[in-house]
A and B are shown apart, each in its own frame.
Chain A
Amino acid sequence: MPVVDVDPDELRELTAHDEKSDDELKDDLFNLGLEYEGETEEGMMQLEFAPDRLDRLSVEGVARSLRYQYGDDRGLYVPDTNDADWTFHVDESVPDERPYVTGAIVRDVNLSEDALDSLIQLQEKLHATMGRKRAKAAIGIHDLTMVKGQAYDADEGGPSITYRGVDPEGDSFVPLDADEEMTPAEVLDRHETGTTYADLLDGFDRYPAIYDQLGLFSFPPVINGRRTEVEAESRDLLIELTGTDQWTIDHICNVICYALSARGGTIEDVDIEYDDAKGADDEYGPNLVRPDFSVRTKHLSHDRIETVLGVDLDQHTVLDLFERSGLSASVDDSADADGTVYEVEIPPYRVDVLHPMDLIDDLGRAYGFNELEPRYPDVGTVGGRHERTRLEDAARASLVGLGFEDLLNFHIISGEANYDRLGIEPGTDVVGAGDPVEITGPYSEDYTQLRSWVLPSLLLVLENNTHRAYPQELAEIGLAAEVDESENTNVAEWRSIGAVIARHDATYEDAKARLAALCADFDATLETPATEHPSFINGRVADVVVDGDTVGVIGEIHPQVLVNHDLELPVAAFELRLDALQ
């Protein structure tokens, strides 16, 4: 989960609550759902939070939420915006894979080193969360005074920038953290940030780029140009976002605008003009004014609030709780007379409200969930265990009674441990050699597939415990699986019983005696006709036949298999399907 570093002094300043101690702040933050994780070397609080309230990814947003919680701010707040001067043109050359752009101008921001750090952190966290590591949305923030707006069309007059496609080897610019001009392809090839994000542009014929009158100054989603870099002294900012979804970039833009507004900035609209030939989002059309600070409304019944929170509330309290959540609500008279319904207005920085239920959560937080008295629900049901797990437990109890130590191993194993070291080949007709259920692109070569039988796991335990006292008599009942396209999931899963007896005089007879005792417990008829299996010594291996069905194998483990596991004493073993004992 994301962790945001927040300076407690800034928090006190932005909330105008100098008197709050760090501990009081921590408690207040916990109730907002922000967990204190620790402190940075610079004394910043590290707050962990769930990635829903993206407006709280910066100290400005956290302070806004606290002010609502304290009752200092109430109701919906939407900053005023000035009319558009700048235009963002979208050229038809824009890559189809990343067609959307949005943005805003913010003037007279009161930046400082701390405020700039907070802005950069906000940008990074938005990239990491809603921006899906920049794949879905990428943010560029520029010093407006360094951007030279070219007149796109002589008749329109106002300054503009253009979002377009560029040949990978086309124009060059000086990216941030570099001292030389590079083409976009060179950035991806050798700039540190470029190599990190190069994957995002795999398969693009043209790369996304933003131009002003002087040329290329931003290369989304990778890096900005140095020319327009924001400094602590910057006052007027140009914000641009590009991505794969208009709604997503618009809302991220809102979060940034609100944070800058809290730093004294004045928001100024921009006109976005998509090329006619280029598909703008159908829902919005080709000509947009951004940022989109439109307020959404949702309806919520008083009854539903009371049943979810489990408390009786009067209307006045509910309206107050809405206001203290940064929402505005009124009783909706147009609704049918079946109880009170509220019409709730939701501010444009909220990206998490999809359903009226989300508003009840806000009310609960404002009320204080920990103020609610727990009660045991007055609902009668009958409990019980599943038949499969009851059988498994009964078989396990038998094995433990026979002296086996019950083990619990991973279901994921390597092909080498599952087949090679046991001397068997996948797809052959012996117990354990079913087709592997393999993980696509595994990270670790020790964990590449589901095991197709249990004995390999037990042999690994023996191998890892040669320094422990013998005898080692181990058993496990656990999952085994193989590819089987007749199954709904294309994977056959079953529980398998595996057992090993490792001691200096272990023989076939020891294994057989215990297997027979186990089968007798379940009134199952056991036969052990001779068979061949590469994991066992020839002439000392048999099929396990229970009630007429071949369900497993029993024998003395082959010396080569023992040597493969660095074992220096004989091992007798058996494996069979649990459902044979049903």
Chain B
Amino acid sequence: MRLPDSQLAVLEAASATDPTAVDRLADETDLDPAAVTRAAFDLRDEGLVTVDETTDTSAELTEEAHEYLDDGLPEVRLYKAAIEAGADDKPVSMGQLIGASGLGGPQVDIALSNFARKGYGSIDSGEVTADPDADPDSDPEASALETLAAGEPVDDTDLLDQLERRELVEQSERTVRKVTLTEKAVTALMEGIEAAETVDRLTPEMLTSGDWQDVEFAEYNVAADAPSVEGGRKHILRQTADRVKDVLVGMGFDEMEGPHADADFWINDCLFMPQDHPARTHWDRFALDVPPIQELPDQLVDRVESAHREGVGEDGEGYHSPWSRDFAEAVALRGHTTSLSMRYLSGFAGADIEPPQRYFSVEKVYRNDTLDPTHLLEFFQIEGWVMAEDLSVRDLMGTFEEFYNQFGITDIQFKPHYNPYTEPSFELFGTHPTTGELVEIGNSGMFRPEVLEPLGIECDVMAWGLALERLLMLMYGFEDIRDVHGTLCDLELLRETEVVY
């Protein structure tokens, strides 16, 4: 018979009559316990040993217990002080006893609660009475601590549990394996077993010398767990944004880019949002403490102001709201990335734009909201628009059906809606892929003439917006967006979330 070194060593160290613990075998063979265990199981599979497993409970004293070993249990100290002060005769004030016993800090509470529990006496309205018949010298908890300190076992499990509740001992369980030779092993040992040369690692030398041909490789427990490794990974919300961008680029959309802090002109006035609109008040808007923007395109500003005051076209009417250039020049964090669409459509972001065009962005917007599981002060908005001659509501619907279909959301419903900047407008509803509920998944519409005419656009533009976080939560089923996005994020959640592709 030929066996690997380690197995042979274990076999030789084990006995047929006396079950030997793995730890002892490890000492005797100079192997580490994991290697002995592995060898023992391999030998068992060959029918050469039996392996018996038992669970061993051990109790370790805590630091607090070691203190009590020196000083005595707090309740015992209290009792002794009470007897000394004559509390077995008549009640003595607690304050006096605590002073006399030298107890301090949390020990006072510990002493009082255990004093009563163990029947050393009673405490009533701050007066302590001691029971003269109590025998603290034979306190079972104290003697159990001493036994454990001497390295002897304590068999009373109730007592151990009580000490664990007092945080004086920590109990732990471990599996103890004992190995015994079988008759087959004894026979084989008598007949003689040859040691096969096994190697642990393949080395560069073995490869160059050719020695690898003469060795046997130690077998690993290939089913065992390996230490865990955390690789880097892209943030889950970025991954979702990437998917959205891939889909949109595939649908012919080009990406926009522009400032987060911008003039209210680009954020709101160009969008035909009246200056007294609730979304433009302090309550919703992040105004910034920086000087107003001086360089706005004057002619465009005039045309936008005229649209607000007079409307556009022969039958057009304006808003009956105040309008001032000062407000238009004020700088705020953008509440939507439609500010980028305005910069692009006006030609301010670069070249003049001729139809047909498709543009998008997946960028951050800011809302002065209260942080809660579904609302953040800043989130990603997916913004897209299509510019062409004679676009219809049906084109808008077809575009969005195609987009959402890419994310498994079908059966889009279009609820007629109102936005100051689009007409007709629709809220988009879709069926949640897992719960089957009808959920809002976006807002869309055709830009109004009051938006397009001042920008000099003579064809149609349809646009839509959607919070990326909303899509994320639909795709992953997260319940609290704060775990994912922002400094309150949970690294474990980010590390463990399944990759979606």
Contacts and interface: CB of A to CB of B under 8 A. Distances in A.
A52 B418 contact: yes
B364 A247 contact: no
A244 B318 CA distance: 16
B383 interface: no
28 contacts: A33-B416, A53-B418, A309-B394, A310-B394, A310-B395, A311-B394, A354-B317, A354-B318, A355-B423, A355-B448, A357-B449, A358-B423, A360-B423, A365-B416, A369-B393, A374-B400, A376-B399, A379-B358, A396-B234, A407-B494, A411-B378, A412-B377, A440-B282, A447-B377, A465-B490, A465-B492, A491-B288, A493-B259
Given A355-B423, A441-B287, A408 B237 contact: yes
Contacts of B492: 465, 468-469
Contacts of B490: 465, 468
B335 interface: no
B397 A374 contact: yes
Most chain A CB within a 10 A radius of its CB, from B228, B260, B288, B427: B288
A355 B311 contact: yes
A423 to B, nearest CB: 19
Interface stretch (A177-185, A204-212, A382-390): A382-390
A409 B486 contact: yes
Q: Which 3 pairs show the lowest CB-CB distances between chains A and B?
A: A310-B392, A50-B418, A310-B394
A412 B378 contact: yes
B214 interface: no
A377 interface: yes
Contact of A136 (B234, B276, B395): B276
A97 B448 CA distance: 32
Interface in B216-230: 228, 230
Interface in B275-298: 276, 278, 282, 286-293, 295
Contact of A490 (B293, B313, B484, B486): B293
B399 A377 contact: yes
Interface of B: 228, 230-235, 237-238, 242, 245, 248-257, 259-263, 276, 278, 282, 286-293, 295, 311-321, 331, 333, 356-358, 364, 366, 368, 371, 376-378, 386, 388, 390-395, 397-402, 412-419, 423-427, 446, 448-450, 484-492, 494-495
A406 B232 contact: yes
Contact of B235 (A32, A372, A408): A408
B398 A375 contact: yes
Interface string A391-430: 0010011011111111111111100000000000000000
Contacts of A406: 232-235, 238
A410 B486 contact: yes
Contacts of A356: 313, 315
Contact of A383 (B253, B423, B495): B253
Nearest to B314: A299
Interface of A: 30-33, 35, 50-53, 132, 135-136, 245, 247-248, 297-299, 307-311, 352-358, 360-361, 364-365, 369-370, 372-377, 379-386, 388-389, 393, 396-397, 399-413, 437-441, 443-444, 447, 450, 457, 460-461, 464-465, 468-469, 471-475, 479, 481, 483, 485, 488-491, 493
Contact of A375 (B312, B364, B395): B395
A396 B376 CA distance: 24
Contact of A450 (B261, B293, B488): B261
Nearest to A136: B276
Nearest to A393: B242
B435 to A, nearest CB: 17
B260 A485 contact: no
Given A355-B316, A364-B393, 17 more contacts: A33-B415, A310-B395, A311-B394, A369-B393, A379-B386, A384-B255, A396-B234, A405-B235, A405-B494, A408-B486, A412-B286, A438-B288, A441-B282, A472-B491, A481-B260, A485-B291, A493-B259
A385 B249 contact: yes
Contact of A361 (B228, B412, B424): B424
B130 to A, nearest CB: 46
Most chain A CB within a 10 A radius of its CB, from B314, B318, B358, B413: B358
Nearest to A248: B320
Nearest to A343: B315
Nearest to B282: A441
Nearest to A392: B238
Contacts of B486: 408-410
B232 A440 contact: no
Given A377-B388, A380-B252, A405 B230 contact: yes
Nearest to A462: B491
B315 A369 contact: no
B232 A381 contact: no
Contact of B255 (A379, A386, A411): A386
A50 B417 contact: yes
A485 to B, nearest CB: 6
B316 A403 contact: no
Contacts of B235: 405-408
Given A377-B399, A384-B255, A440-B288, A464 B488 contact: yes
B233 A405 contact: yes
A403 B320 contact: no
A356 B368 CA distance: 34
B412 to A, nearest CB: 8
Given A355-B423, A386-B256, A472-B491, A403 B248 contact: no
A204 to B, nearest CB: 18
A483 B291 CA distance: 9
A385 B252 contact: no
Contact of A410 (B231, B245, B378): B378
B291 A33 contact: no
Contact of A491 (B242, B276, B318, B331): B331
Contacts of A413: 487
B415 A379 contact: no
B424 A364 contact: yes
Given A33-B415, A309-B392, A379-B356, A400 B424 contact: no
Contacts of A408: 235, 237-238, 484-486, 489
A489 B235 CA distance: 30
Contact of A377 (B248, B250, B395): B395
Given A383-B252, A406-B235, A461 B487 contact: yes
Given A307-B392, A382-B252, A383-B253, A403 B232 contact: yes
A373 B263 CA distance: 39
Given A33-B415, A440-B287, A383 B276 contact: no
